[in-house]
Amino acid sequence: MPTSSLKPAMIGNPMSLSFPSSYRPNMVMIHPFSVEAHGDELMGGTTANLTSTTPAGQHGCMITLNDSFLVRKVWWANGTIGGSNNADVAVYSEDGATRILFGNGALMSGSNTVQEIDISDVLVPRGRYWMVYSQSGVTNGVLAVTMAVANVRAAGFAFASGLTVPIGSTWTPSAATSGIVPLFGIAGRTQVA
Amino acid sequence: MSRRYGIAPYIMPPTITAASRFALTSSMMRSGSAAPASGTSPWSDAANTVIAFPFVLPVTTPIYKVFWVNGSAAGGNSDIAIYDENYNFLVGTGAATAGSGNSVPQVVALSATTWLSPGLYYAGMAHSATTINQVFRWSVATIGTAIWQALGCWKFAQTLPISGNATPADLTNVALPYFGLITRSGFDV
């Protein structure tokens, strides 16, 4: 049975490319539906619209940065605010062992609005990372798409149980058991909303 | 810090399915089909047929595993393989794997982790039965199968496990199976 015997290109060595890469700069707002995340796979896997939804735990998507990205803020899109929950967004290394940045949590405020947390600017190098959203409770909703769990998993989403804010110093992805895809992310500009 | 547009190798997303920007794209998948779900089998007209979609890689990319999404009544046997642009068989799982686990992805390792150079390839999946609800799929029943042909998809009669080169024929079934490739090690889907 034939298998490829081709040697891998050395990451960072531009002379190893067979032809110019189709490089595309990062967008200023990165979220699960971005090209930098699972946008194509998610859009191909659902016809649902954003609605206010309570999270099932910690919802994580993988982002691919083809250039370094200066993160100035983290943010999420509030759904219906009915009580006192905190929310947070964090970014981890691909193995989940290192938390690169997080918002340290904030009280959710303002139904159907984007809420942001200003962080000390962090320059995230090119690479693949986990970007995770969590709330401290389920009294409040976050704007989210709900789709078939199988389609969320096929898109590359992951999950961790526990409604924890701030999100922990490490993150261990497991197979998603919820089809909820919240609208949240990181911003490369000072103005978010 | 200088920017290196067009020079630094592209970092690939963790999965590639037919909806990927490197395959048929989500805009095409949404143009005439509902979200992937159980229903009419992509192999309703003939079991033991490879159904394939094209994809491109801008950089050398490792393929660690493959997966398909089981339907609401998982069953039958499946296999996935990768072909080059000339329909030559490159690598597969080497076995027919029984579907297990309703409405969840099922992951299978390739016979060997494979590094694919930049270029055009095809990902193909074969299934042993015509039974409905065994595999998630996109369906274009409302607009017809011409879209699959326009997007470069094809079929080829093949008993499991998949091996040998393909001789492609027009994909005339309304359903495209939901399966894909995994480019990250460790956590899969």
Pairing state of beta strands B179-182 and B49-57? unpaired
CA B182 to chain centre: 11
DSSP state letter for B150: H
Summarised one tens digit per residue, pLDDT across range A148-186 is 999 999 988 999 999 999 999 999 999 999 999 999 999
Distance from first CA to last CA of chain A, Å, rounded?
Answer: 55
- Give the pLDDT band of residue B32 (cuts 50, 70, 90): low
Summarised one tens digit per residue, pLDDT across range B7-24 is 567 889 999 999 998 998
From B179, which residue of chain A is nearest by alpha-carbon distance?
Answer: A154
Q: What is the mean pLDDT of chain B?
A: 90
Reported ipTM: the value is 0.79
CB–CB contact B91 A1 (8 Å): yes
Q: Taking a C-beta distance cutoff of 8 angstroms, is the pair B125, B179 a contact? A: yes
Give the minimum alpha-carbon distance from A124 to chain B in angstroms, rounded to a whole number.
13
One-letter amino acid identity for B106?
A: Q
From A11, which residue of chain B is nearest by alpha-carbon distance?
Answer: B9
- Chain A residues whose CB is inside 8 A of the B69 CB are 150-151, 153-154
DSSP state letter for A136: S
CB–CB contact A4 B116 (8 Å): yes
Helix intervals (H) in B21-169: 26-32, 146-150
Q: Taking a C-beta distance cutoff of 8 angstroms, is the pair B30, B136 a contact? A: no
What residues 11-40 of chain A have any CB closer than 8 A to a CB of chain B? 11-12, 14, 16-23, 25, 35, 38-40
- Give the pLDDT band of residue B140 (cuts 50, 70, 90): confident
CB–CB contact A47 B30 (8 Å): yes
CB–CB contact B4 A14 (8 Å): yes
Comparing A19-28, A86-95, A104-113, A178-187, which segment has the lowest mean pLDDT? Answer: A19-28
CB–CB contact A66 B69 (8 Å): no
Summarised one tens digit per residue, pLDDT across range A31-85 is 998 888 988 788 777 778 889 999 999 999 999 998 899 999 999 999 999 999 9
CB of A44 within 8 Å of a chain B CB? The answer is yes
CB of A70 within 8 Å of a chain B CB? The answer is no
Q: Taking a C-beta distance cutoff of 8 angstroms, is the pair A109, A193 a contact? A: no
Q: A181 has which bridge partners?
A: A145
